[in-house]
Amino acid sequence: MSACPNAATATVDTAAESADPCCAAPLPVLGRDVTVPLVTGGEVTYAALDYAASAPALQRVWDDVAAYAPYYGSVHRGAGYLSQLSTDLFENSRATVAEFLDCRPGDQVVFTRSTTDSLNLLAATIPADCEVFVFETEHHASLLPWRDARVTYLNAPRTPAQAVETLERALAERDPYGPALVCVTGASNVTGELWPVTELAAAAHAHGARIVLDAAQLAPHHPVSVQELDVDWVAFSGHKLYAPFGSGVLAGRADWLQDSEPYLAGGGASRKVARRADGGVDVEWHTTAARHEAGSPNVIGVYSIASACKALTEAGFDSLVARERHLIAKVREGLAEVPEVRVLSLFGDDAPRVGVISFVVEGWNSSHFAAALSAEYGIGVRDGLFCAHPLVRTLLGSDPQDPGECGAPEAAPGERSLNAIRVSFGAGTPDEHVERFVGAVKELVRDGAQWKYRTEDGRCVPDRG
């Protein structure tokens, strides 16, 4: 059965691409022509430079979803044509994601709501005596789900080698020497720096531990191979992979998933439910990925992830990575020309990274600076602690008790605040957006903001009074 009659088959338009991969055209994304008003007057094309929070939908993904939408139906048990077609599309999407991640035979691909949901699911499956090891540098999605486990939090390393050494030492010294799980990011959502995943996986396995990779910031920028990295599980979100339709993925080894109680109890997770003679209920649960997918699944969200996986694969990660390095160099070189700007880094300037860069500006409240970029230049960045509070506090050299929180600065415009500014970009970012950003940073530092700003509900906004 065809997965979707008349489904969109749009591919990347390569007519404008250069033979030089770093000069390849950006992939078409939804909203690329949206204009926004400036507080100083007029309008400008919006420069979306907050990809690390949520990336815009690829046009290819939107077209595929729109083509499928009239054929939407419930999955797995419907006898009607649309239900059967949707079931076929849903399960084919699972196979597409498994191929995109280069999963091992026997691995399961479970569809969730997000990376956070995926890691909370895994946290619910770990053995009762399992100890979890996680660096303080992690996003809260990786740092916080392990509430029912013994957790060892590792200090921020300053080199990739130190990360491996720190983990090896902690695993070797664990007492009791029982089951263990390591949770680590592939690319930092604050600094963009790549972590030594292969080496960390080898260290984990050498000490009888398993490892889960938070690939939320890695998968949109670099190929992720479960087999080459030798990780046990990988988690990522659709909304960072150019498929912002409310789905995520947990993929990897089946045993812990099969041996645990279902993440949610309900229809779809159960194979058989029967009343007992004593009046109770007996339940036989699925042993497949369906065990943890109770309820009606987000078919459109799942299909959008599969569409994005195909689009990125067809575009070619070699070309995507080369173009992104070109953009990273433009931003870093531009910021380096402004003495008042300090770029945040764990591993140093030469560390490989994805298109995520955080910085602070001397004499500026970071929320004030971000607000001015938006209101006066039409540039969307992010300010705050980026749901990685311990890491940002470490990078800023602050005391753990200093005031400040994610997205809600304590300081007034113009005062120092415990937060930072993050610019992030990816496959859909044109050169003009990063060039405008660099130019705006230079102008704001040199000339100051053109408008007055005030704090309202924890956010810095233009004062229109």
DSSP assignment of 271-286 equals EEEEE-TTS-EEEEE-
CB contact at 8 A, 182 and 212: yes
Helices (H), 156-298: 160-172, 197-206, 226-229, 255-259
Strands 453-456 and 108-112: unpaired
Whether the predicted model's global pTM rises above the 0.85 cut: yes
Distance between CA atoms of residues 265 and 20, nearest Å: 52
Question: Phi, psi (5° rounding) for residue 305?
Answer: -65, -45
Residue with tokens 């053995």: 127
The DSSP 8-state label assigned to residue 389 in this structure reads: H
Residues in contact with 10: Cβ distance below 8 Å, sequence separation at least 6, in sequence order: 59, 60, 63, 64
Residue with tokens 């000339």: 447
Residues in contact with 58: Cβ distance below 8 Å, sequence separation at least 6, in sequence order: 27, 28, 29, 30, 242, 243, 307, 308, 311, 427, 428
10-residue mean pLDDT series, the chain (465 residues): 43 42 82 97 98 98 98 92 97 98 98 98 96 97 95 97 98 94 98 98 98 98 98 98 97 97 93 93 93 94 98 97 98 98 97 98 94 98 95 85 48 63 98 98 97 90 89
Distance between CA atoms of residues 221 and 321, nearest Å: 7
Distance between CA atoms of residues 225 and 447, nearest Å: 47
**What pLDDT is attached to residue 17?**
42
**What pLDDT is attached to residue 352?**
98
Catalytic residue numbers? 387
